[in-house]
Amino acid sequence: MALAFSGARPAIAGQVEPTNAQTSGRYVFSGWKGPDLPVWYQLPDRVAADTPVVFVMHGVNRDADRYRDEWAALARQHGFIAVVPEFSRADFPGSRGYNTGYFANTDGSPRPRAMWSFSAIEPLFDEVRQRFGTQVPRYTIYGHSAGAQFVHRYVLFVPDARIEQAIAANSGWYTMPDFGTAFPYGLAATPIDEASLKAALGKPLTVLLGTADTDPDDTDLRKTPQANRQGPHRYARGQMFFAKAQQTAVAMGTTLGWSLETVRGIGHSNAGMAKAAAQRIAARAKRDEQR
């Protein structure tokens, strides 16, 4: 039986700041080894033990509040909890600090695994379940642009994460599943080994591409020689990334759990991609219920 969310929460560190009848707001998450994270959230109208959790990873502007707002109506329409952790530039500087996982310092020395930016998600999932009352065993993680970079690398670096599905929408460039290419464009000199890569390739990752995200001159598009070899624009780079995953899975003799899907007519827009992603999340949840 669904339970109405009353606003009552367990005693957890972090002050909730409700902004919309206590169904949306912001609080601070401190239950991991890294810096405190502001967390923006949107609840559906009713929360039950089986209410899904969807993490939404913001883009390069670190505007978690905007991403929450763009997902708010979708969360209520489809009945899931949207959770948007905010990775500030101060605590997670540049692409190294946020969307490539912060697993190494600027001098290349390794950082403790517990302080990777990737390492915030699993303990935050446990906290979200306790705070809001859902009991689902797995979660969806979606990201757009720099957030999509975070998501596809999260799948590669944390293959044991409790992912129900992962959706990487319109990433600007990729870490290819290739041990012959240096990080961040490939996996050479990373903690990932062959067993980890096989596990990652089996995860339910959707590479979601807007067919109109084809501007090679976009000011936010990385244009290094290594990135340009992945393609002239985001749409082409996503296709190359998926093709490389297919080749790697065949070479390793393993099953590929990834898929490539497109959203016709959408360019580099989180709002446009979010609607398509939410429909896919809802469809998967419905299929799971019917099993």
Tens-place pLDDT, residues 52-61 = 999 999 999 9
Q: What is the rounded average pLDDT of the residues 233-240? A: 98
Q: Distance (Å, rounded) from C-alpha 25 to C-alpha 291?
A: 34
Q: How confident is the model at residue 290 (pLDDT cuts 50, 70, 90)?
A: low
How far is it, in rounded angstroms, from Cα 24 to Cα 21?
7
Task: Say if CB 164 and CB 139 are below 8 A apart.
Answer: yes
Mean pLDDT to the nearest integer, 269-276: 95
CB atoms within 10 A of CB 129: 18
Beta pairing partners, 25 = 18, 41
pLDDT of residue 289 exceeding 80: no
Helices 64-78, 270-290: inter-axial angle, 10-degree rounding: 40
Prediction pTM value: 0.91
Q: What is the residue range of 109's domain? A: 13-290
Note whether residue 242 is domain-resident: yes
CATH code of residue 119 = 3.40.50.1820
Range scoring the smallest mean pLDDT among 17-31, 35-49, 104-118, 129-143: 17-31
Q: How far apart are CA 259 and CA 205, in angstroms?
A: 6
Question: Which pLDDT belongs to residue 284?
Answer: 79
Question: Would you state the pLDDT for residue 13?
Answer: 37
Measured CA to CA, the distance from residue 7 to residue 30 in angstroms comes to: 20
Residue 8 lies in a domain: no
Flag whether 2 is in a domain: no
Task: Examine residue 7 and state whether it is found in any structural domain, yes or no.
Answer: no
- The yes-or-no verdict on residue 5 having pLDDT over 60 is no
Within a domain: 264: yes
Structure confidence at residue 21 as a pLDDT band (50, 70, 90): very low
pLDDT greater than 50 at residue 37: yes
Q: How far apart are CA 200 and CA 176, in angstroms?
A: 12
- Per residue in 151-161, pLDDT (tens digit) is 999 999 999 99
Name the nearest CA neighbour of 95 among 163, 153, 134, 42: 153
Residue 7 has pLDDT above 90, yes or no: no
Over 80: is that where the pLDDT of 16 sits? no
pLDDT tens track for 85-126: 999 999 999 999 999 999 999 888 999 999 999 999 999 999
Of 1-10, 65-74, 177-186, 225-234, the range with the lowest mean pLDDT is 1-10
DSSP 3-state of 153: helix
Question: Domain for residue 215, yes or no?
Answer: yes
At residue 19, the pLDDT reads: 41
Q: How confident is the model at residue 73 (pLDDT cuts 50, 70, 90)?
A: very high
Task: Tell me what pLDDT residue 285 has.
Answer: 72
Would you say residue 18 has pLDDT above 60? no
Query: Over the stretch 177-227, which tens digit does the pLDDT of each residue have?
Result: 999 999 999 999 999 999 999 999 999 999 999 999 999 999 999 999 999
Asked whether residue 104 is domain-assigned, the answer is: yes
The model's confidence at residue 147, banded by pLDDT at 50, 70 and 90, is: very high
Half-sphere exposure of 223 (CA within 13 A, CB side): 7
Q: How many domains does the chain have?
A: 1
- Please check whether residue 198 lies inside any domain of the structure: yes
DSSP string computed for 211-265: TT---TT-TTS--SHHHHTT-SSHHHHHHHHHHHHHHHHHHHT-----EEEEETT
Q: What is the pLDDT of residue 4?
A: 31
Query: Would you say residue 80 has pLDDT above 60?
Result: yes
Phi, psi of 152 (to 5 degrees): -70, -30
Average pLDDT over residues 20-39: 90
| Radius of gyration (C-alpha) of the chain in whole angstroms | 18
Please enumerate in sequence order all residues whose Cβ is within 8 A of that of 85, keeping only pairs 6 or more positions apart, or say none: 29, 37, 38, 39, 55, 57, 64, 120, 121, 124
